[in-house]
Amino acid sequence: MKSKQERGLRELYDDDPERADAIVFGRRTERGRRGFLKSAGLGAMAAAVGGAIPFARNLPGGIIPAAMAQEMAMIDGKGPITVLGDRPLNAETPAHLLDDAVTPNSLHFVRNNGLVPDMATNMDANAWSLTIDGEVHNPMTITLGDLKGKFDTVTAQLQVECGGNGRAGFNPPAGGNQWTVGAIGCAEYAGVRMRDVLNAAGLKDSAIYTGYHGNDVHLSGDTTKDVISRGAPIWKMMDPSTILAFEMNGEPLPALHGYPVRIVCPGWPGSTSGKWVRRIWVRDQVHDGAKMTGTS
């Protein structure tokens, strides 16, 4: 028996807008869609955006109402942020909501390359472990308890920004998520300095770069494939502002932001701030992991 393939809302509309209308709104006809918009469906959408939807009766078929996209984000504890894609989930914060000195978790942008791992929503954080190996004298595997008990905890307000922020303004257009200016956030993170952990592992003279590996799941479902595996030079990892974070704004990291532990590498593209991290591979060369080579 062929297994049912998981599909995102946007993927569904890209493939067959008319069929998508039938699934989402219940009927294929434009008349049926408008009937939905004049009834309870319109009320739900208005509630999602916090106001009336003008000219709703003229809403054409084959599009995804922004209110529905924003509602999707709210399911995971997010506020009114704009979803650019749902598989993988990528969402940015409207610029007028970025006035806070510290960005609330509910308004922090989301950048994923794969699927959020199940362990991020149902795993006991005490079962998590991190391996540090490669060009080190003392390869080690540490737990969350080790991080909290053996290293100094630091708290800092750190900025993370997607390298594609502002891409929607490029001319000629560039491929990828069409971020406007909302793929940026400044949260207050608590964790340990990356350099303290690397020093505990004992860096060899040959160590020049790191590569991280996370628990996120490839869109194909193949657990042997890395979704993304980027890294940074040793000198950047030894910067005191680069941390292994386990809290975000006074709470355990939300699932969408890397629970239970992530890297925060401020000042560099957000892709170097790996989420759901499980391994840090110390290299004697520039890391050549997934989305580190070629045009990546």
Q: What is the pLDDT of residues 224-274, one digit of tens each?
A: 999 999 999 999 999 999 999 999 999 999 999 999 999 999 999 999 999
Q: Locate 266 and state its tokens.
A: 């401020």
The whole-number average pLDDT for the span 214-222 is 94
Give the torsion sign (CA, 246, 249, 250, 252).
Answer: negative
Q: Is the pLDDT of residue 118 over 60?
A: yes
Report DSSP letters for the chain, one per residue. Answer: -PPPPP--HHHHHHH-HHHHHHHHHS-SSHHHHHHHHHTHHHHHHHHHHTS--TTGGGPPSS---HHHHHHHHHTTT--S-EEEEETTEEEE--GGG--SSS--GGGS-EE-SSBPPTHHHH--GGG-EEEEEESBSS-EEEEHHHHHHHS-EEEEEEEEE-TTTTGGG-SS--SS----S-SEEEEEEEEEEHHHHHHHH-B-TT--EEEEEE--B-TT--TTS-S-----BHHHHTSTT-EEEEEETTEEPPGGGTTT-EEE-TTSBGGGS-SSEEEEEEESS----TTSSTT-
Q: Which residue has the tokens 């999602």?
A: 48
In the chain, what are the domain boundaries?
A: 9-75, 119-283
Q: What is the mean pLDDT of residues 200-220?
A: 97
**Averaged pLDDT, 78-99:** 89
Query: What's the gap between Cα 208 and its chain centre?
Result: 27
Q: In this predicted structure, what is the pLDDT of residue 239?
A: 97
Stronger pLDDT, 132 or 122, i.e. the higher one: 132
Q: What is the mean pLDDT of residues 91-113?
A: 94
Mean pLDDT over 125-152 rounds to 96
148-204 pLDDT, tens per residue?
999 999 999 999 999 999 999 999 999 899 999 999 999 999 999 999 999 999 999
Asked whether the CA dihedral 167, 78, 262, 150 is positive or negative, the reply is positive
Residues 67, 73: Cα–Cα separation, whole Å: 10
pLDDT for the residue 19 = 64
Average pLDDT over residues 192-218: 97
CATH class in words for 119-283: alpha beta
Residue 57 confidence (pLDDT) = 57
pLDDT over 70 percentage in the chain: 74
Residue 74 pLDDT > 70, yes or no?
no
pLDDT at residue 70, as a whole number: 43
| Range of lowest pLDDT (50-59, 99-108, 190-199, 204-213) | 50-59
pLDDT-derived band of residue 32, with 50, 70 and 90 as boundaries? very low
Q: How confident is the model at residue 77 (pLDDT cuts 50, 70, 90)?
A: confident
Residues 6+ apart with CB under 8 A from 68: 9, 24, 45, 48
* pLDDT > 70? residue 50: no
Nearest by Cα to 112 from 243, 265, 217 = 217
